[in-house]
């Protein structure tokens, strides 16, 4: 009888131990799954930030190309046609020209889609200034109830355009302090600097063959107060003919935990890959995970 009791006790201990191990494994799996979901959300949010930033840069660049020379002609009706960059049907443009500045208001009204099928509404205000001595051009962006694909964009951006860099290409330094708010109330503020080098297509008035190479660093602050830093470790490549960034790598850092976003090999598609802790995630660009 004592022998049987010892056997039953041993079985009970093994059973309890097995249940505890299973529970621990289940908890570990749950934590791992939650971390994967969180990392994917962080990476996807960053791709949204990149897409908003670069599309707004493209809007400002094309408007400058179309209207920037009006300061020389003093003709507020002057507009230079840029092949492949038609203006959205809902857009109204108003301009005020002074001795050294052009103030341009882009009013998308209640909204419509642009060339890249992004839905825009509200206003972007551009103040374009010229520094003849330094051979540079500045463009200040501000926003009034401006929405990009349903996301509210607030704050300001400052751009300084050099005529040529050491590579013989135009380059723009962009300082931004913007806030992006999603439809569900989540938001992120973005503060930092980017350099945007125009590496292909400059000077021919054909928008679709323009290519930009982008570097920079910035920090993001989420609604819950969490701060992350990010840097471009391999230049991002933006083709004007594509809605999305086509290649390049961004690293996001929080307390030495790294999430890497790889935008691909140069093909125009809506996919990127995220990597963290040996895991990889496919990201559909323009589709933020909630």
Between residues 167 and 110, which one has the greater pLDDT? 110
The pLDDT of residue 248 is above 60: yes
3: in domain: no
How much is the pLDDT for 81?
58
For 2, list phi and psi in degrees, rounded to 5.
-60, -35
How much is the pLDDT for 261?
94
95: in domain: yes
38-52, 151-165, 276-290: lowest mean pLDDT where? 276-290
161: domain range?
32-284
Q: State the DSSP string of 209-259.
A: G-EEEEEEEEEEEETT--EEEEEEEEEEEEETTSSSEEEEEEEEEETTEEE
Using 50, 70 and 90 to split pLDDT, how confident is the model at 79? Answer: low
The pLDDT of residue 289 is above 50: no
Q: What is the pLDDT of residues 94-147, one digit of tens each?
A: 988 877 788 999 999 999 998 888 999 999 999 988 776 667 788 999 999 999
pTM for this predicted structure: 0.81
How much is the pLDDT for 5?
47
26: in domain: no
Using 50, 70 and 90 to split pLDDT, how confident is the model at 31? Answer: very low
How much is the pLDDT for 69?
56
C-alpha to C-alpha distance for 149 and 279, rounded to whole angstroms:
30
Q: Which two tokens stand for residue 274?
A: 């995220």
The secondary structure of 36-105, three-state, reads HHHHHHHHHHHHHHHHHHHHHHHHHHHHHHHHCCHHHHCCCCCCCCCECCCCCCCCEEEEEECCCEEEEE
How much is the pLDDT for 148?
95
Query: What average pLDDT score do residues 57-86 get?
Result: 66
How much is the pLDDT for 133?
62
CA distances from 106 to 90, 125, 160, 178 (A): 10, 6, 20, 18
Q: Which residue's structure tokens are 């520094």? A: 131
Long-range Cβ contacts of 30-39 (<8 Å, 24+ apart): 35/277, 36/279, 36/281, 37/289, 39/259, 39/274, 39/276, 39/277, 39/279, 39/281
The pLDDT of residue 175 is above 70: yes
How much is the pLDDT for 136?
77
18: in domain: no
Counted domains in the chain = 1
> Average pLDDT, whole number, for the chain?
82
11: in domain: no
Q: Which residue's structure tokens are 């939650």? A: 34
How much is the pLDDT for 177?
96
15: in domain: no
How much is the pLDDT for 193?
96
Query: What average pLDDT score do residues 165-194 get?
Result: 93
How much is the pLDDT for 250?
95
289: in domain: no
Burial string for 94-129 (b: 16+ CB within 10 Å, else e) reads ebebeeeebebebbbeeeeebbeebebbbbbbbebb
166: in domain: yes
């Amino acid at each position: 009888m004592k022998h049987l009791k010892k056997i039953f006790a041993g079985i009970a201990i093994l059973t309890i131990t097995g249940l505890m191990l299973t529970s621990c494994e289940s908890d570990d799996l749950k934590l791992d799954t939650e971390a994967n979901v969180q990392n994917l959300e962080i990476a996807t949010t960053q791709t949204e930030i990149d897409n908003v930033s670069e599309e707004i840069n493209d809007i400002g660049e094309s408007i400058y190309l179309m209207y920037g020379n009006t300061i020389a002609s003093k003709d507020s009706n002057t507009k230079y046609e840029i092949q492949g960059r038609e203006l959205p049907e809902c857009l109204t443009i108003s301009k005020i020209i002074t001795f050294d500045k052009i103030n341009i208001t882009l009013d998308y009204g209640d909204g419509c889609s642009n060339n890249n099928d992004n839905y825009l509404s509200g206003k972007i205000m551009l103040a374009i200034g010229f520094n003849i001595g330094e051979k540079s051009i500045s463009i200040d962006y501000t926003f009034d109830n401006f929405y990009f694909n349903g996301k509210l964009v607030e704050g300001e951006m400052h751009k300084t355009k050099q005529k040529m860099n050491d590579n013989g290409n135009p380059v723009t330094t962009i300082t931004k302090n913007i806030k992006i708010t999603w439809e569900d109330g989540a938001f992120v503020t973005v503060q930092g600097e980017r350099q945007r080098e125009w590496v292909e297509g400059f000077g021919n008035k054909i928008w679709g063959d323009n290519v930009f190479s982008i570097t920079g660093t910035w920090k993001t602050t989420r609604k819950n107060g969490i701060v992350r830093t990010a840097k471009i470790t391999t230049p991002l490549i933006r083709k004007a003919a594509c809605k999305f960034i086509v290649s390049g790598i961004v690293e996001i850092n929080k307390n030495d935990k790294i999430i890497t976003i790889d935008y691909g090999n140069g093909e125009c598609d809506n996919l990127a890959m995220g990597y963290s802790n040996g895991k990889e995630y496919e990201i559909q660009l323009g589709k933020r995970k909630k």
